[in-house]
Each structure stands twice: as structure tokens, then as C-alpha cells.
């Protein structure tokens, strides 16, 4: 599957978007959102990780097998996090 190569301008746009998300992350530290602080920080971190995965790791134009492996990795991480959270919440 052929695709157009990423241009320097496209890389620069993604870089600027990542820098904006970084500034948003730093700004979120200074805003008291109560119990939503962690959720907002995780959402921003997921967005940054997704941008890096899609564009800098060239997964956007990769074969479907790469997408399957990426999905399996996300499922594995979710299971690990769920196990840790289950353990932490059950402790007295």
C-alpha cells in the first residue's frame, strides 16, 4: 500500500500540536479540577501518545497486522492497569 511521504511541514504541524498539548499538560497542573485532574492528564497523555504512534512511528500508513499488534498491546496494558487497580482498591 503506497502512500504519500510525510512532508517536513506535516512533521512541523505535528510537533506544534505536541508542544501545545505539552503546554496544556503544564497548565492543567495549576488548575484545580478536583478528582478530574488525573483524568484530564491521562487524556492529554493518551492524545500525545496517539500522535507519536500514528505519525512519528508511521503506523497511520502501516499494514493491518501492525494495527492488530498495537491493539493487542493496548489490551495488555489495560489488563495490567486493571489488575493493579483491583489490587490497590481491595487493600484496607
**Length, in residues, of the chain:** 92
> Is the same domain home to 54 and 88?
no
Higher-pLDDT residue of 92 and 70 is 70
CA 11/CA 18 separation, integer angstroms: 10
Q: What is the pTM of this model?
A: 0.77
Query: Are 16 and 54 in the same domain?
Result: yes
Q: 50 with 68, same domain?
A: no
Same-domain pairing of 67 and 87:
yes
**Domain with 52 in it:** 1-61
d(C-alpha 40, C-alpha 47), whole Å: 11
Mean pLDDT, the chain, integer: 91
Residue 14 shares a structural domain with residue 50: yes
Give yes or no: residues 75 and 91 share one domain.
yes
Q: Indicate whether 6 and 40 sit together in one domain.
A: yes
Band of residue 92 on the pLDDT scale cut at 50, 70, 90:
confident
Amino acid at each position: 500500500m503506497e502512500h504519500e511521504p510525510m512532508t517536513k511541514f506535516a512533521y512541523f504541524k505535528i510537533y506544534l500540536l505536541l508542544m501545545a498539548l505539552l503546554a496544556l499538560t503544564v497548565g492543567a497542573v495549576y488548575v484545580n479540577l478536583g478528582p478530574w485532574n488525573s483524568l484530564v492528564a491521562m487524556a492529554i497523555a493518551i492524545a500525545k501518545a496517539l500522535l507519536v504512534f500514528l505519525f512519528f512511528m508511521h503506523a497511520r500508513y502501516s499494514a493491518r497486522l501492525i494495527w492488530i499488534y498495537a491493539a493487542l498491546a493496548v489490551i495488555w496494558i489495560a489488563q495490567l492497569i486493571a489488575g493493579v487497580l483491583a489490587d490497590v482498591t481491595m487493600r484496607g
